[in-house]
């Protein structure tokens, strides 16, 4: 019996020694405590996460509603006002500006409205150089007529017909009566017709002629030239003696 008790005592002491020598992290109590700590930590994290999500949803929803309502009211008001302003400012004032610019072109931009000197009639729009070859001839009806040759230069930006410009810018009078154009014959007819048919391009010159019927072969004929700005006749004139 004593030998058995000793064996039991020796066994108990060996197991106790083995337990004492076992590392703490391999003991069941330590493992159980670690598992419990993890479970508690996970529960705390889940609870905290749920609270933070609820707080963010409550705080962000009102702000989104404000952002959606305010811009709509502002954009509708701003869009309606410019449309009304454009209709008023882009239709009526534009026409007024165009009329003002047209008036300026006819008044302020003209530098030379008309001058006559030494057989040269000059403006910003054209130049007529009167030839010394002014003579009496017979027209197509056999009546006395005065032929005046000239050189015309077009200073505008469009093609012009010399006779149309001459009819508007030059006037011939005899005994205070305006002389009328007549028809020529022969070589003179080709020259006069070319003046009425040909178009002179901008910056180009043309040799033409005018032919007017005269009432007397002895009375002096006077040429008058127009001021393109005032549409009045210049004070300078050119007398043409027929005898």
Using DSSP's 3-state secondary structure scheme, residue 145 falls into: strand
- Token output for 236: 């300078």
Using DSSP's 3-state secondary structure scheme, residue 120 falls into: strand
Using DSSP's 3-state secondary structure scheme, residue 13 falls into: helix
Number of structural domains found in the chain: 2
Instruction: Looking at the structure, tell me whether residues 167 and 224 fall in a common domain.
Output: yes
Instruction: Looking at the structure, tell me whether residues 125 and 222 fall in a common domain.
Output: yes
Backbone angles phi, psi at 97, to 5 degrees: -65, -40
- The per-residue pLDDT for range 90-109, each reduced to its tens digit, is 444 444 444 443 444 454 58
**pLDDT for residue 185:** 93
Instruction: Name the residue range of residue 169's domain.
Output: 115-240
């010399």: which residue's tokens?
Answer: 162
- Token output for 40: 């508690």
Instruction: Looking at the structure, tell me whether residues 77 and 148 fall in a common domain.
Output: no
Q: Per the domain annotation, does 168 fall within a domain? A: yes
How far is it, in rounded angstroms, from Cα 147 to Cα 101? 41
Q: DSSP letter string over 164-230?
A: HHHHHHEEEEETTEEPPB----HHHHHHHHHHHH--BPTT-EEEEEEEEE-S-SSS-EEEEEE-TTT
Q: DSSP letter string over 43-75?
A: HHHHHHHHHHHHHHHHHHHHHHHHHHHHHHHHH
Q: Per the domain annotation, does 92 fall within a domain? A: no
Nearest to 160 by CA among 240, 238, 228: 228
- The per-residue pLDDT for range 153-212, each reduced to its tens digit, is 999 999 999 999 999 999 999 999 999 999 999 889 999 999 999 999 999 999 999 999
Judged against a pLDDT cut of 80, whether residue 216 lies above it is answered with yes
- The per-residue pLDDT for range 40-90, each reduced to its tens digit, is 888 888 888 777 765 555 444 444 333 333 444 444 555 555 454 444 344
The dihedral formed by the CA atoms of 153, 157, 158 and 162, expressed in degrees to the nearest 10: -20
Residue after which a domain boundary falls, among 32, 64, 83? 83
């Amino acid at each position: 019996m004593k030998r058995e008790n000793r064996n039991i005592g020796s066994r108990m002491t060996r197991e106790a020694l083995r337990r004492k020598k076992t590392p703490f992290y391999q003991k069941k109590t330590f493992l159980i405590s670690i598992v419990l700590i993890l479970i508690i930590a996970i529960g705390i994290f889940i609870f905290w996460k749920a609270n933070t999500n609820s707080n963010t949803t409550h705080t962000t929803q009102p702000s989104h509603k404000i952002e959606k309502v305010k811009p709509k009211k502002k954009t509708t008001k701003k869009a309606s006002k410019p449309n009304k302003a454009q209709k008023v400012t882009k239709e009526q004032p534009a026409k007024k500006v165009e009329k003002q610019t047209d008036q300026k072109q006819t008044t302020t931009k003209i530098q030379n409205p008309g001058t006559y000197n030494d057989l040269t009639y000059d403006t910003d729009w054209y130049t007529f150089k009167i030839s010394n070859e002014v003579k009496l001839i017979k027209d197509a009806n056999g009546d006395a007529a005065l032929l005046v040759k000239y050189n015309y230069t077009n200073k505008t930006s469009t093609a012009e017909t010399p006779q149309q410009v001459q009819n508007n810018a030059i006037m011939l009078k005899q005994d205070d009566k305006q002389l009328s154009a007549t028809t020529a014959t022969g070589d003179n007819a080709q020259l006069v017709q070319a003046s009425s048919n040909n178009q002179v391009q901008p910056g180009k010159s043309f040799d033409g002629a005018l032919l007017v019927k005269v009432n007397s072969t002895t009375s002096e004929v006077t040429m008058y030239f127009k001021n393109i700005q005032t549409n009045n006749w210049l004070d300078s004139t050119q007398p043409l003696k027929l005898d």
